[in-house]
């Protein structure tokens, strides 16, 4: 059981046992530029060199990739969730844009 004082302010590390599935298969493991775990801890968001913002189940992303979203012309430098978890922000490299993504729950 973790206490409130055990919680980190953010969870942005790119490599670890709980995020093995976020790196593209067969790649040199340098294409993921940033990582952010959702406020509720159910998803992990990544930005990559292919212009994508990716959403994975967390804490076991290798089981299921939920979705990938394209909006930037090239690499995406950073992805970050809002404090309320309802919005994701991504920052593009060469296109110098900030995209605001609305988080919508899918009904399965």
C-alpha dihedral sign at 13, 18, 22, 25 = positive
Residue 90 pLDDT greater than 80, yes or no: yes
> How far from 66 is each of 1, 2, 32, 74, 102, CA to CA, in Å?
28, 27, 16, 21, 15
pLDDT digits (tens, 9 = 90+) for 11-50: 666 666 666 767 665 567 678 899 998 888 888 899 999 9
Q: Provide the residue ranges of all domains of the chain, joining segments of one domain with +.
A: 9-102
**pLDDT for the residue numbered 98:** 96
For the chain, helix (H) and strand (E) counts, in that order, are 0, 7
pTM (global) more than 0.75: yes
């Amino acid at each position: 059981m973790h206490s409130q004082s055990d919680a980190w302010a953010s969870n942005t590390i790119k490599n670890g046992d709980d995020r093995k599935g976020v790196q593209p298969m067969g790649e040199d493991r340098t294409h993921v530029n940033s990582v952010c775990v959702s406020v509720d801890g159910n998803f992990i968001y990544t930005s990559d060199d292919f212009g994508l913002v990716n959403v994975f189940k967390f804490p076991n992303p290798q089981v299921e990739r939920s979705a990938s979203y394209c909006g930037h012309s090239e690499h995406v430098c950073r992805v970050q969730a809002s404090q309320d978890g309802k919005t994701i922000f991504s920052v593009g490299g060469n296109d110098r844009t900030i995209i605001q993504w609305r988080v919508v729950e899918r009904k399965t």
